[in-house]
Amino acid sequence: MKESYLIINIAAVLVPFLFSFHPKIQFYKKWPKFFTALIVVLAVFLPWDMLFTSMGIWGFTPKYVTGLKLINLPIEEVLFFICIPYACVFSYHCFDKFVKMERFQKFENPISIALIIFLSVIAISNYSKLYTSVTFTSLAIFTVLLKYVFKVDWLHKLYFSYLILMIPFFIVNGLLTGTGLDEPIVWYDNNHNLGIRMLTIPFEDTFYGLLLLMLTVSVYERQSAKLEK
């Protein structure tokens, strides 16, 4: 039905939104920092999304969206870049608050180095596949900047959070890419990706999601550091 994508967005953000007001969580107090980060995310990802949609690298099946658009994007796709970052940063906030994250710090360096090398090799060897090369190059460069230029101290928290978030990631992205549906809500041209699917999810989506979270958290943490000074 035409509300399918909209329902997925609402389902993804509903519980995090409601629990934002829980007295032990109080994520609503972090809203100014989150919404500052969200502005940056929308400024980066919406033009990228619009360009790739216009190029046919990915697209949207009309019967699963309402028909309302922002330029060439279904309004549901725009809401995706609001709902998913909210749910992810809410989760990041909760993990940071309730989990002893220091124990994972020793894994940050090998994970970051392995990630940068892996992304660089895949991007260079698949430069003609635009979804692969742009996503992997962007994530590799951003990881280098955060680790070696800005020298942030929260990458271990990000990696742990994303590992746990892979569970809802597979549910949401699985639905969006066609798991259990006659057709995918979001389709991909395999000429521009590796053609590797995890169930129905393109392999690149895993790293696209990590980049989305990394950018959101980087601004969110930067705002937090400013307010603490």
- Binning pLDDT at 50, 70 and 90, where does residue 181 land? confident
Distance CA 26, CA 165 (A): 20
Of 124, 113, 222, 216, the C-alpha closest to 161 is 216
pTM, to two decimals: 0.95
pLDDT score at 180: 86
Residue 227: is its pLDDT beyond 70?
no
Of 113, 101, 99, the C-alpha closest to 144 is 113
Q: What is the mean pLDDT of the chain?
A: 95
Distance CA 180, CA 165 (A): 21
Using an 8 Å Cβ cutoff, are 107 and 156 in contact? yes
Give percent above pLDDT 90 in the chain.
Answer: 94
For 161-179, what is the mean pLDDT? 95
Residue 226: is its pLDDT beyond 80?
no
Angle between helices 203-228 and 31-54 (to 10 degrees): 150
Structure tokens at 199: 């169930």
Of 167, 198, 186, 8, the C-alpha closest to 84 is 8
pLDDT tens digits, one per residue of 85-129: 999 999 999 999 999 999 999 999 999 999 999 999 999 999 999
For 140-166, what is the mean pLDDT? 97
pLDDT score at 229: 53
